[in-house]
Every structure is written in structure tokens, then in C-alpha cells.
Amino acid sequence: MQVPQDGEDVAAQPWYHGPLSRQKAEALLQQDGDFLVRASGSRGGHPVISCRWRGSVLHFEVLRVALRPRPGRPTALFQLEDERFPSLPALIHSYVTGQRPLSQLTGAVASRLVTRQGPIRRSFSEDTLPDSPARTELLRARKWSDSQPAAVFYVYLSHLLLYDPSGASTVPASALPRTGSDPVLLKTPVSMGSIPDSLRASDGQLHAKGPTKPPRTPSLMLPDASGRPPTYCELVPRVPKVQGTAPGHSCPEPEVPWWEAEEDEEEEENGCFARPQAEVSLSPLDKPSCLLGPQNRPLEPEVLRTLRGLFLEHHSESTALHLLLVDCQATGLLGVTRAQRRAMGVASGLELLTLPHGHRLRLELLERHEALMLAGALAVLGCAGPLEERAAALKGLVELALALRPGAAGDLPGLAAVMGALLLPQVSRLERTWRQLRRSHTEAALAFEQELKPLLRALDEGAGPCDPGEVTLPHVAPAVRVLEGEELPGPLDESCERLLRTLHGARQMAQDAPRFRETAARRLRGFRPNPELREALTTSFLRRLLWGSRGAEAPRATRLEKFQRVLSVLSQRLEPDH
């Protein structure tokens, strides 16, 4: 295949089909190895490589990294995973002639181009590709596990989690079925069918108009279920049809984001304390869900597959910003309405949680921390495939923690929840998995041991970083636990000093609330979240996902005890005690 000279229009290439829907592209790809390049209508004309592989059509978005203009070098680089190329034709030439997989996850190889018939409807030039500031950084090869425990195993777990006021178990422990290689997992004998099925996402057609900003990460794109196994990893995740979402209903995304309009809409306060009217909930549980139906069971496999697609679609920095946005709202740092401020008597949740009438907010923050921690542990313990997949899941969580640390996103509650997941006994006991992490992902293992664990220890002891310049959202969990009457761990002589540090930190945190708010608004300026991923990180969604619509209403202690049992079952199943 001839490589065009630098600056040649992509539209002149025979493999480029211009604006083409994924349905038409799939109809053109008949044999394994067939490929074409098209402009994605749902993402503003971004180039997408469509390739048939093992009976399924996969779609891979090509990223463009803009460079500062300098003589003798290209104005942009193009990449699929790690390697970058000076032009889109050069990228295609390298992957086709070298028979290189388009992604390590799928192993798909593009070997035979499907030639365009006739002129394209609209020209597409490399020079007109939209820029994205988030793409200027080298993408980390993040591979969350695509394996799923057998569907019957999740039926067992869902029965275990269902809330029964009488305390009677609906399924005996002896009913644990086969897992891992259970043939129920796959409808076809090829392994490729399970990979896209676990990365289910959407084609962006749920929205009235395409997003105006380019995506921040490369996207594997998997389709809807139209009579065959879902294999299309699209750019915006889809709401599962089986969940009963109303036709035409989608997760709305505001035209003017509230996290940017907050500063403009903020009224000047008179500095006087207003007596609180009632306790305010910043994480209501009755919010409508785009990912779950009105009634759902715990750990529904279809929803879990959708979530894997969501997290695979976003690299750790993007996921960290989504988590920061949701944490800021749940903590009351951003998004507090005028009516809520009047009811609270203060302007920020960081102030409210230190006051007596902040009891409800403190319980919500504890609930959120525990739900995020359990969901993170499930991401590792739910990997029923090879050992490398579990190690890759650990690596993904470590990278997310690094993206949340001070100086990066600065979301310390999110960092504490992710680290809590990694330090749970059910996860930390997986010796073979951690050994594989050290062997295959040494950098992540070192960062976890040498940077993240000491950082979390310092934060829990009230001695970690808390400056609003490098921290966007402070670590509130120690103060919340103390104010809710929980005892501090450790020796008595050390706990007194730690208690004083914690209370002093809470007081300073409340005083610095306006500075934290400014830092959060600045860090989130220009950020456009994925609506489904944003919902997937909310407390209400996590509660219903983990315990079901019935179990979410159970007492907190009962829910935690049941899910700890679930995690213990999963952990023993992966690495049984000898």
C-alpha cells in the first residue's frame, strides 16, 4: 500500500469512506480482516477504523495529538494505543503492512481494505481534525478485565444480597455453580464474543445532538444487541434496553454546566449566620436512573457489562475528573442550590459536616465512601479469567488512585475509596495476583507501595497534604467518623494527638471552603463529562447496583455485612486457601 506524502488529503485514500454510519460500515465488511476508515458522525467527524474480526465488526477511534508548530515536523500526531504517527495514512500503513493488532485487548488485525466506491459525500482532511487538550498526554495502556463470572454465579450473588427482613437465606452456599470456563458465558465458541459483550457501550444516538467537544480518550466502540452478540464499542455508552428505559429518554447533559456557572450565579452573602431549617440531603436515593430500571436485582450482569465498557472507554485521568465532579456535588462543595444554602445555614457542605445538623450529610459521605470502596473491590474480584486480567484490574485501580492524588485531580475522598478497595482483606490476600502485578506492571506496583500507601496513612492520621492549591477536595472521612462517634484506631496515647489533628483539620477545612470551591471550579472548567459514567459514580446508583432496589433500603450494617460475604466468596473462588 502506497504511503501518501505529508499533507496529502485523507479523502484521496481508497480506504477512507468519509461520513459513514456504523450500520453501513458493518454491511461493507464481509470477511475477517476487512477494514475501512470512516468519519464518525456522533463525534464530529473523528476518524474511526472499522474492522471485521472473528465474525464481529469492531470500531477503533484514532486520536489526534496536536503539536506546537515547528519547522520540519508535523502539526499533529495520530495514535491508536501507544505508538504515534505523523499522519493518518502512515498509521494505517504501519498497522496493515506489519499485520499488527489494532488493539492488544481484541487482537483484531486489519489486512484487506474495502475500497470506496465513488466520491465521498464530504471531504475529510487531516488538517480539519478537531483538537483535544487531553490528548496531548501519552495514553497509559489501561486494560480493565473483560472477563465476567458466569451469569448463574451472579444469580447466586444477587440472592445472597437480596434483603430479607427475617434474615433467612434464599440460596444455600452449596448452590454455588461452576464459574470461569462455564460454557453458559459464551454463545459462540470464539473468545472474541465475550470481550465486546463485557465492554458494552453506545453509538451516541441517544442524544439529540452530538457532543461539541472531542473525546478525551481513545474509545473501543461496541454495538447494541440486534440479534447477535454485542460487539460494537462506540464512543458514548448505551443505556441497556433490557432495563426498561423509556423511548427517547437519555441522561440529560446541561447546556451550561452548573460547575462552571456556580461562580457567576453565586450571590454575595451578608456574612450573617442563618438558622438551619432542616437537615439537607446532597445525595438523594430517589433519583431516576438511565442505567437501571425502576426495579433491579443486585449485580445485574447486563449492567456490569455496560459499566466495564464505560470504564474501558475512559483513561484514568478522565475517570478521575468524573469522580471529582460527583464527589464535589456529594460533599456540597459545588452545585449547592440557593434553597439548600438557606436550609443548611452555611454556604458549603464542608462547613455543614462540622456542625450538629450535618448528621445526615456525614452519614451520606460514609455511605459513599463504603459504596465506592466495595465497587472497586468488585472490579478486581469479579475477574474470573486469567491471572493477568486480575493484575490488569489492579493496575487500573492504582492508575486511578494516582490520577486522584494531590497535584493531579486532588480528589482525596475518591483516592481514599480506591485505596480502601485495594487494601480490603479480600483483595490484599490475592498473593498470586499481586505477584503478577509486580511482575507485569512493576511501575504501578512500586507507586502503590512507595507513594500511595504512605500518602493514605498520612491522610488518615491528619498529617497529609491539605492545601487548596494542590488539593481540590480534602479528606473528610476521619473528621466524619470522629463526629459520628467512631473510635480512632491505634494506641490510646497516639489516638489523642490524632484526634486533635483531625478536629483541627476539620476546622481548617471549613474555613478554607471558599478556596477549595475556587480550586474545584478551576480544575473542572471546560470539562464535559459522559452522562452515563457520571451517573455510574453517584451514591444512589452504586447502592442500587450493589444491593438492588430492595436491598438498598436495608439497614447499613446489614448491607455491608452481606456484601463482605459476597466479596469473601469471590476472593476464595479466585485463590482458594490451601
In this prediction, residues 133-162 reach a mean pLDDT of 43
In this prediction, residues 206-235 reach a mean pLDDT of 40
Which stretch, 145-154, 189-198, 271-280, 420-429, has highest mean pLDDT?
A: 420-429
pLDDT at 463: 87
* Model confidence at 223: pLDDT above 50: no
Instruction: Give the confidence band of 323 by pLDDT, cuts at 50, 70, 90.
Output: very high
In this prediction, residues 209-231 reach a mean pLDDT of 41
In this prediction, residues 481-485 reach a mean pLDDT of 93
221 to each of 18, 80, 131, 234, 484, how far by Cα in Å? 18, 13, 20, 3, 45
Between 45 and 175, name the one with better pLDDT: 45
Q: What percent of the chain has pLDDT over 70?
A: 70
- Phi, psi (deg, nearest 5) at residue 509: -60, -40
Query: How far apart are alpha carbons 217 and 439 in whole angstroms?
Result: 27
pLDDT at 227: 42
In this prediction, residues 32-46 reach a mean pLDDT of 80
pLDDT at 298: 93
In this prediction, residues 20-25 reach a mean pLDDT of 85
pLDDT digits 0-9 by tens, 148-189:
444 445 545 555 565 554 444 444 443 444 433 333 333 333
pLDDT digits 0-9 by tens, 92-106:
999 998 898 888 778
Query: How far apart are alpha carbons 476 and 361 in whole angstroms?
Result: 11
Residue whose C-alpha cell reads 438492588 in the numeric block: 548
pLDDT at 218: 42
Alpha helices in 473-538 (DSSP H): 477-483, 492-511, 513-524, 531-536
| 110 in Cβ contact with 33 (< 8 Å) | yes
> Domains along the chain?
9-113 (3.30.505.10), 301-574 (1.10.840.10)
Between 55 and 507, name the one with better pLDDT: 507
- What is the phi-psi region of residue 179: left when phi exceeds 0, alpha when psi lies from -120 to 50, beta otherwise? beta
Give SS3 for 115.
coil
Query: How far apart are alpha carbons 212 and 574 in whole angstroms?
Result: 44
| 53 in Cβ contact with 32 (< 8 Å) | yes
Q: What is the rounded radius of gyration, in angstroms, for the C-alpha atoms of the chain?
A: 25
Cβ-proximal residues to 291 (8 Å cutoff; 6+ apart), any chain: 239, 240, 243, 303, 306, 307, 532, 535, 536, 541
In this prediction, residues 525-553 reach a mean pLDDT of 92
Instruction: Give the confidence band of 495 by pLDDT, cuts at 50, 70, 90.
Output: confident
In this prediction, residues 198-227 reach a mean pLDDT of 40
* Model confidence at 90: pLDDT above 70: yes
* Model confidence at 129: pLDDT above 60: no
pLDDT at 397: 96
Chain mean position to CA 567:
20
pLDDT at 71: 79
Residue 60, C-alpha cell as written in the block: 477503533
Chain mean position to CA 515:
27
Exposed/middle/buried for residue 166 (C-beta within 10 Å: 0-12, 13-18, 19+):
exposed
Q: Please, what is the average pLDDT of the chain? A: 76
pLDDT digits 0-9 by tens, 239-251:
333 343 443 344 4
pLDDT at 104: 77
Q: Which residues pair with 236 in a beta bridge?
A: 203
Between 439 and 3, name the one with better pLDDT: 439
320-335 burial string, b = 16+ CB within 10 Å, else e? bbbbbbbbbbbbbbbb
* Model confidence at 131: pLDDT above 60: no
pLDDT at 345: 87
* Model confidence at 217: pLDDT above 70: no
pLDDT at 456: 95
* Model confidence at 377: pLDDT above 70: yes
pLDDT at 119: 76
Residue 94, C-alpha cell as written in the block: 504501519
Q: Which residues pair with 221 in a beta bridge?
A: 59
pLDDT at 342: 85
* Model confidence at 561: pLDDT above 90: yes
Beta strands in 108-254 (DSSP E): 112-113, 220-221
Query: How far apart are alpha carbons 351 and 517 in whole angstroms?
Result: 12
| 413 in Cβ contact with 365 (< 8 Å) | yes
pLDDT at 274: 62
Q: Which of 487, 519, 475 is nearest to 350 (CA)?
A: 475
pLDDT at 471: 96
Cβ-proximal residues to 200 (8 Å cutoff; 6+ apart), any chain: 222, 230, 237, 238, 240, 302, 305, 306, 308, 309
Residue 120, C-alpha cell as written in the block: 465521498
pLDDT at 433: 96
Query: How far apart are alpha carbons 17 and 7 in whole angstroms?
Result: 18
Instruction: Give the confidence band of 275 by pLDDT, cuts at 50, 70, 90.
Output: low
Between 170 and 257, name the one with better pLDDT: 257
Between 462 and 413, name the one with better pLDDT: 413
Q: What percent of the chain has pLDDT over 90?
A: 43
